[in-house]
Amino acid sequence: MTGYLLDTNACIDFLVGRSDPLARRMGQAFGRLHVSAITAGELRVGNRGSTDPVRDAKRVATFLAAIGILSFDAEAAVAYAEMVQAIGMRRGIVDRLIAAQALSTRMTLVTNNEPDFTGIPGLAIENWTL
């Protein structure tokens, strides 16, 4: 599979309209964009602290339906184990799981938080907020 896996922070920036360059790039790549089930969960949890959780839950649901959610599968689990063996547990588990999914699907990870993902062997990263 090829395409782009959106990190949670990229999704949030898009949903709140924080970055015109990100929105433009996402429009250009539409049809090749994906989110991890892990990111989908993080987005749904984030709604609970909103000033208008019903509105934001609908916004997230519409976004996820348009993008599509990838299940975390056995190949992603293998990629995760290999990554931890290669670089240890220096980063948060959620970021590592998302990175493993990008690796197992051969997707480029779109994030504006590159430091959380640098040093992961074989992981392609792009920041579309610049």
Domains of the chain: 4-126 (3.40.50.1010)
7 is in an annotated binding site: yes
13 is in an annotated binding site: no
Q: How far is CA 105 from CA 94, 97, 124, in A?
A: 17, 12, 11
Distance CA 128, CA 23 (A): 8
pLDDT tops 80 at residue 94: yes
pTM of the prediction? 0.93
Q: Which two tokens stand for residue 5?
A: 């896996």
Distance CA 74, CA 122 (A): 18
What would the mean pLDDT of 9-15 be, rounded to a whole number? 96
Question: What is the per-residue pLDDT for 90?
Answer: 64
Distance CA 92, CA 74 (A): 20
Distance CA 53, CA 118 (A): 33
pLDDT tops 80 at residue 89: no
